Structure 1
Amino acid sequence: MYETQKEKMIQAAEYLHKLDIDLWIIYTSEASDISLPLITGVKTVGPGAFLFTKTGEKFAVCSSIDAQDIEESELYHEVFTYSSNLAEVLADLVGKINPNKIAVNKSKEEHLADGLTEGRFRWLKKTLADVFQGSYVPADQFLKKLRSIKTESEIANIQKAIDITHEIYEEIFTKMKAGMTEKQIGKLFVEALEERTLVNGIDRALSMPIVMKENIAHRAPSDVIIDKGDLVIFDFSVDYNGYVSDIARTVYFLKDEEDQAPEEVNRTFHTIHEAISKAFDKIKPGIQGYEVDEVARTHLVDNGYPEIEHATGHQIGRDVHDGGALLGPRWARYGNSPYEVIESGNVFTIEPTVFLRDKGIHFIVEENVVVGETGAKYLTKRQDELILIRS
C-alpha cells in the first residue's frame, strides 16, 4: 500500500531541493485539497496539515481522531496530534523547522494545484506570523510536475485501467445493435463496470459513458434510437486504483446492403488515423504542447476538414483531465498550458476530432500514450480500422 505516495514524496523532496524551497505545507480540512490522494494517501476530517521538507522529512499534524490512518500508513517521520488547537501545534513544528521559504497550494492557472482557499491561506499566515518571517511561494511550480510526471506504479495503474477499458469495449461491441437507444447501450457499460466492481473514471460513480449519435457535446446518453447507417461516438473511462483511462471510439452501424461504410466515412476515419500518427511521431521530451497539436490540426485542414474545435490531446492520470502541458492550440482559453514543455513520464490522450455536422459525419478516435526519453509509446491498443456493427 501507498507505493505511489512513497514515490511522489521522493519526487517532491527532489523538486523542493532543486528549487531551494525549505518547506511545503498542505493545509486541509474535510479533504479539501485536491492533491491529497496523489501526495498524502490519507485524508483528514478535521483541520490538518502535511509538511514536507527539501531534505526529505515528512510530518503530519492532525486531530486525535484522524491520527490512526495517518500513523498506520507509515509514510511520515512523525505524526503530531491536537485535541483543540491545530494552530499551536503547527506553529511549534514550523518554528522548529525554521524555513526561509514555504510553498503552499496556490495557483492562478492550474486548478489542480490550487487547493488552498484564500480564507485558509489567511489563517495559515496569521498562525505562523510569530515563527515565520520568510516568503510564501506557489507550489504549482513543482506540483504540476508531481501530477504530470508519472512514476512506474502510476503508469502501471493507468495501463490496467486502459486494458480493462478495451476489454469492456470489445465485449459491448458484440452486444450492441441498431434499434437500441443511446441509454440502452450506455447501460451495457454500467453493467460491465458493476460486474468488475469498478466505476466510471470521469465521475467515480457507476455511471454511463458518453454515447452520442447526434447533438455532439459532453453529455449523458439520451433516448434517441440508433439506426442502421448511423455513426455513434463512445467516450469511456475506467477508474482503476485511483487512476483512469480515457478512450473514445466511433463505430458505424452497417445498413443491410452494406459490407463496409460509405467512402466518405472511411476517408474521414483514415484521415484522423493519419493525424494521430503525425501527432504521435511529433511527441518527445522538450517539445511544447502546441507543436504537437499543430501537426494534427494542419493535417486535417490540408485534407479539407474543419479545424479541430478543441485541443488535440490532454494529460490523464488521477483524472481524465490531469492538468499540466496540453497538446493544444495557442488559444487564450488554454492559457499557458500549450506552451509547457513535454517531459518523459507524461501520459497524454491524442484525439484529433472531425465534426461535419451538415453531413452527419462525426468522429472521435482517442488513444492514450506515455512519453519516454526519446518519444511516445501507445498504452492503448491502437484502432487501425473503422469499427463496423452488423445487426
Structure 2
Amino acid sequence: MRRLFLASVLATAPLVAQAPSDFTGPSPWPEIRRERITRLLPQAMREANVDAWVTFLRENANDPLALHVGGENAGSPAAVVFVRNGDRVRSVMISGFGEAIALRELGLHDSVVVYDRNSSTALMDAVASRLRASGARRIAINSGGSENVTDGLSHTQRIALERALGSEWTARLVPSEELVELWLQVKLPAEVAIMQRAAALTAQLEAEAYATVVPGVTKDSDVARFLKRRMRELGVEDGWSPAQNPSVNSGPDRGHSHASDRVIQHGDFIQTDFGIKVWDVWVTDIQRFAYVLRPGESAVPAEDLRRWEHARAGSRAAFAAMRPGVTGAQVDSAQRVVMNRAGSASVPWGTGHSVGYWAHDAGPNLNRRETRALREGMTFAFDGFYAWALPGGSTTWGEGTKTLSPEEMVVITATGAEWLVPPQDSLILIRPRR
C-alpha cells in the first residue's frame, strides 16, 4: 500500500520534461503556491481559528514567509491581507506603485491596490481599514511564538500597526505560529514528487563524493569541495548555511560544523550531512556514511559493523512508528528504545524534524517533548543513532565520541511512512588505493 502512494503522487504531479536530476527548467512554484493558498490556507485558518492574516513585506530585510505569500520581490514596503470567508480565502496585496503591475500579472491575489507613498502612515492605514472592514475577530500577525519563520514582523512595524488599528482592534491580534505551521507542514503531491527527485540527487552526489576518496590523501574539506562543485554544475543551491553544507567528518563528533582539513585514514567512518535546495524553494537533508577499509580488510570489522547495524535498526524503528496520529515524542521514543538497548552513548539530538522549505521546517519535530501529531502529507528527515567513546575519549557527546546517524527522508501517508529515496542499508566501502 505504501508504494502506491508515491506512484499516485507522480501520476498527479505536473509532467517534468527534464531528466530527474535537472532542476534548471521553469520553476513549478508559482502554480504550486497558488494551489497551496487556494486549497490549504482556508483549512489552516479555520483550524487555527483565525479570521484574517496579515504579512508585511520590505526590501533587504523581508519576512521569512515572503516567498509563500508572493512578496519575495518587495521593493517598497507592502502587505498581504488574507481574510477567511467560509471555505474560501480572499487576499489583497497592498503595495507601492512600482511593484503593482508585476504583482497583478502574477495573478496570485484577488486584488492588488496601491497606497499613497507620500504619507508615512498610508500602508498601515490601508491595512487597518481592510481589517476593520473584514470584521475579523482574530487577526494573525507574524510576531511571537517559538518558530523563527513566524516572527518576521519588526518591532517598528508592530508599533505602527497597533497605532493604526487602535486599542480595540489591537486586542484582536494573535501570533500566526499555529496558522503557519498548519499551512506549511503538509506538502502537496506535486511537492512530494519534487522532493523525491531532489532527495535522489542528494544521495547520488554523496555516493559520487565518496568515490573520490583516497585514504591518507583526501581531506574532509576535499569531499566538501567536490560536492560544492557538483552543486554549481547542476544549478542547485545549499540546503542550509553554505559554510556548513556539506558537513563532512571522518574524525570525532563535531556536530553542525564546516568540514575540517583532517586527512581521511584507513579505519575511519566518514559522515556526510548534506542538503540541496531546488528552484529556490524545496530542500533536502540526508546523511550517508562510509567506512574506509584497512589494507587486508575485505569487509567492515565485526564490532564496527555491529555499531552500524544498531544505528540502522534505530532508523527503521522510527520509520515503523511514523503514521498519522502518532506524536513526535512517540516516534523519538521508538528510536531511543533501540538505541538504549544497544548500549549507545547518549546524544543531544532528537530523532528528526520536519523538512521541506527549510532543512528545519515549520511543523512537528521528532523529539521527546513533541506532542503534535503527524499528518498525511508531512515530510520528515530523521536519524537512527549509535554513539560510543573513541580511545581516550568520553561517553559525553562531543568529548571524543563518534556517532553513526544515518539520516533519511520520508513522507507520511494514510497508512504510514514512505521513503523519499531508498534508505542506506549498508556502509559505503572505500578500499585502499595501490
Tell me if both proteins adopt one fold, taking TM over 0.5 as the criterion. yes
Once the two structures are superposed, the pairs formed by residues 43-62 of structure 1 within 5 Å of their partners are: 43-55=73-85, 56-62=89-95
- Supply the AA of the counterpart residue of 1:105: N
CA positional deviation for 1:89: 2.9
Q: Does 1:283 align with 2:322?
A: yes
Pair 1:228–1:18, CA change in 2 (3 A): closer
Q: What is the SS of the residue equivalent to 1:142?
A: helix
2:265, 2:49 → 1: CA distance?
61
- Supply the AA of the counterpart residue of 1:61: I
Equivalent residue, structure 2, for 1:174 = 211
Conservation of the 8 A alpha-carbon contact between 2:310 and 2:386:
no
Deviates more, 1:254-263 or 1:208-217: 208-217
CA positional deviation for 1:82: 2.2
Pair 1:138–1:97, CA change in 2 (3 A): same
Conservation of the 8 A alpha-carbon contact between 1:313 and 1:352:
no
CA positional deviation for 1:86: 1.6
Deviations 1:235-267 (A, max 9, x none): 000111210110001111111110011111100
Conservation of the 8 A alpha-carbon contact between 1:238 and 1:246:
yes
CA positional deviation for 1:346: 1.1
Pair 1:143–1:208, CA change in 2 (3 A): closer
- Supply the AA of the counterpart residue of 1:275: G
Deviates more, 1:73-82 or 1:28-37: 28-37
CA positional deviation for 1:141: 1.7
Deviations 1:25-65 (A, max 9, x none): 11232252111223336431221110111121111001112
Sequence identity (%): 24
Match of 2:141 among 101, 104, 107: 104
Match of 2:386 among 351, 354, 359: 354
Q: What is the SS of the residue equivalent to 1:59?
A: strand
Once the two structures are superposed, the pairs formed by residues 292-303 of structure 1 within 5 Å of their partners are: 292-303=331-342
Equivalent residue, structure 2, for 1:323 = 362
Pair 1:209–1:321, CA change in 2 (3 A): same
- Supply the AA of the counterpart residue of 2:172: S
Conservation of the 8 A alpha-carbon contact between 2:332 and 2:367:
yes
Conservation of the 8 A alpha-carbon contact between 1:200 and 1:206:
no
Q: Does 1:22 align with 2:51?
A: yes
5+ unaligned residues in a row in structure 2: which ranges? 1-27, 392-400
Q: What is the SS of the residue equivalent to 2:366?
A: coil
Equivalent residue, structure 2, for 1:380 = 421
Q: What is the SS of the residue equivalent to 2:101?
A: helix
Q: Does 1:9 align with 2:50?
A: no
2:363, 2:144 → 1: CA distance?
12
CA positional deviation for 1:215: 4.1
2:167, 2:147 → 1: CA distance?
31
RMSD: 2.0
- Supply the AA of the counterpart residue of 2:77: P
Pair 1:87–1:208, CA change in 2 (3 A): closer
CA positional deviation for 1:173: 2.5
- Supply the AA of the counterpart residue of 1:70: L
Q: Does 1:261 align with 2:289?
A: no
Q: What is the SS of the residue equivalent to 1:57?
A: strand
Equivalent residue, structure 1, for 2:229 = 191
Deviates more, 1:365-374 or 1:84-93: 84-93
Equivalent residue, structure 2, for 1:33 = 63
2:282, 2:300 → 1: CA distance?
35
CA positional deviation for 1:148: 0.9
Conservation of the 8 A alpha-carbon contact between 1:159 and 1:379:
yes
Equivalent residue, structure 2, for 1:72 = 105
2:200, 2:128 → 1: CA distance?
47
Conservation of the 8 A alpha-carbon contact between 1:297 and 1:308:
no
Equivalent residue, structure 2, for 1:369 = 410
CA positional deviation for 1:107: 3.1
Once the two structures are superposed, the pairs formed by residues 143-162 of structure 1 within 5 Å of their partners are: 143-162=180-199
Pair 1:17–1:329, CA change in 2 (3 A): closer
Equivalent residue, structure 2, for 1:334 = none
- Supply the AA of the counterpart residue of 2:298: D
Q: What is the SS of the residue equivalent to 1:388?
A: strand
- Supply the AA of the counterpart residue of 1:159: Q
1:207, 1:389 → 2: CA distance?
24
Conservation of the 8 A alpha-carbon contact between 1:95 and 1:131:
no
Q: Normalization by structure 1: what TM-score? A: 0.92
Q: What is the SS of the residue equivalent to 1:321?
A: coil
Pair 1:288–1:131, CA change in 2 (3 A): closer
Once the two structures are superposed, the pairs formed by residues 214-293 of structure 1 within 5 Å of their partners are: 214-216=251-253, 217-241=255-279, 242-293=281-332
CA positional deviation for 1:134: 6.0
2:423, 2:297 → 1: CA distance?
25
Paired residue total: 383
- Supply the AA of the counterpart residue of 1:358: L
2:295, 2:170 → 1: CA distance?
76
1:106, 1:190 → 2: CA distance?
36
CA positional deviation for 1:72: 1.8
Conservation of the 8 A alpha-carbon contact between 2:324 and 2:412:
yes
Equivalent residue, structure 2, for 1:333 = none
2:362, 2:356 → 1: CA distance?
9
Q: What is the SS of the residue equivalent to 1:58?
A: strand
2:405, 2:381 → 1: CA distance?
12
1:310, 1:51 → 2: CA distance?
38
